[in-house]
Structure 1
Amino acid sequence: MDLDWESLTEATSGAVGALVSTTVFYPLDTCKTKYQAEIRSLDEEGHRRPPKYRNLSDVLWDAFSSRQIMSLYQGLGTKNLQSFISQFVYFYGYSYFKRLYLERSGVKSIGTKANLVVAAAAGACTVIVTQPLDTASSRMQTSEFGKSRGLWGTLSEGSLMEAFDGLGISLLLTSNPAIQYTVFDQLKQRLLQERLGTKRGPNADASPETLSAFAAFALGAVSKSIATVLTYPAIRCKVMIQAANGRESKSPKALAAALGAIWRNEGGAGFFKGLQAQILKTVLSSALLLMIKEKISRSTWVFMLAIRRFFFVHSLPKIKPPRATS
């Protein structure tokens, strides 16, 4: 079987980076998600009720005061599984589609428009595969502290279709990683070209060029900030739809309904409620992910080469040595 080993290397290093970054920043992610999911409702007189959570620290204090601090990790296993699978599928698809485009088009480097299309295609494949895990993770995080159920218990509460709540928005949000990785990839290429002076020549056994840890972290932070600001209203709508109370009939079940609920109850500013928290979490997480990916890609590449050579050698027909003659 002819595998795309470079794409497999990208996918593996990206998935490992996602696993580490998700675990490190998970409590912040839980606070952010619960804060985003809350909608300020109106009282009988038409006035907006005060929110339960005014900022992230209120969510954290709620966990402390209820002695449920470990509940900030509720759904971590599901989130890690989703992050690992999604990043593996995304990085493999992104690397594979990009290499396929370069081979078919005959160009030496991919342009911005083509990069966006390639990244969006990889993102769409990822969303379809991991949407039930994404929905379950959001419901676990937005459940009351100490009352979250396991993955199977969360998914079995509703129908199969409800496991795909927010799929349309998730497909729309493929533009987020598309923007992020396009910006990151373009900045990375320019930085490496300036550092090396010339592009790396084609060599199947040469390890890919990598950024320093600081450069990868900085470029990851910049690229994710840009993507987050541009797509944030859709991000908040997705969290509201997938939240634990999303199974209630009064809760929005589609993008238009979520946008309308935000506008009626919170005004225009509601579309960006929690933006600072989203940027803080996603920028730190994505920057750490890309930093880890860049630093382990060389070792992963060597590991993949060893596996390839092992299977190649063992797939050859065994030839018995000639018998010695007397």
Structure 2
Amino acid sequence: MTLADPPAGLSARLRTGTRSEHDRAQGSGFLDRLAAGTLPRAAYADLAAQHWFIYETLERAAAAMADHPVAGAFVFPELTRLPALTEDLTVLAGRAPRPSDADGSPAAGRALRPASDDGLSAAGGASHPARDDGLPGAGPAGRPDRDDGLVWDGRASRPGDDDGLAGDGGQPGDLGLPGDGAELVPLAATREYRARLHAVAFDKPWAFIAHHYTRYLGDLSGGQYLGPAIARAYGLDGAGHRFFVFDGVSPAEFRRRYRELLDAAELSAEDAELLLAEVVEAYRLNIAVLAELKERWAS
């Protein structure tokens, strides 16, 4: 990644400077298998659980940075994902994680893993109210810009693809979870991710913006295609995939507005360099979580 005398603004530098990391994240295979429905629904619940632990930390960092003169401009309450993840996991696993689950110790509970077919049924979930935030209302999302955040491009694998992952076709109702609700714990890669957020995102504006950009811009880009694909694959009708739904937000308009904020951010040249390097680190952490999930659900 070369940043010497860049002719473009920060948003363009982020897209071009993290292209290889973006492509690596797309090539993980795990998300493609979920979109194709060739993994058990418990694998999707596992992904949602890892997201819960990541966003629990990232959104506490957002609260800590809300009044910062630079980072505060990137704190948008309408992007908050933790309530949606809590709702999704209540449907998928019987409950959401507890703070005591976050250490990942055996005493915290048993982790999700491939298990027997017990037909745990899904419960309905209430939608979140739309917010009056000045953004255009939700509608059909524009095609996501290729390099905005952690993007999944919708090219799902199909059964029989040779990526080393096995699945049962993800039949609706086959959660592979204990009927009394699974205890949810973070993977080792998720704990590393949380540790990095704790180390830098609560008091360093460049780091907070880097992690915020990587996650939320990806959610508003490829996530707008991944969410419906997962809903179709696992028979989720309005409940269980709220994470991907941003009420009252037009993804395309929000991405445009976000790029303008990046280009207008009053960051020193040194902090801009640190921000780009931290986006690369955020990609690495996300890729590690997906790789561990892929390995976990390979058999």
The TM-score, its normalising length taken from structure 1, stands at 0.27
The one of the two structures with greater contact order (alpha-carbon pairs below 8 A, sep at least 6) is 2
Higher helix share: 1
State the structure with more CA Rg.
1
The TM-score, its normalising length taken from structure 2, stands at 0.29
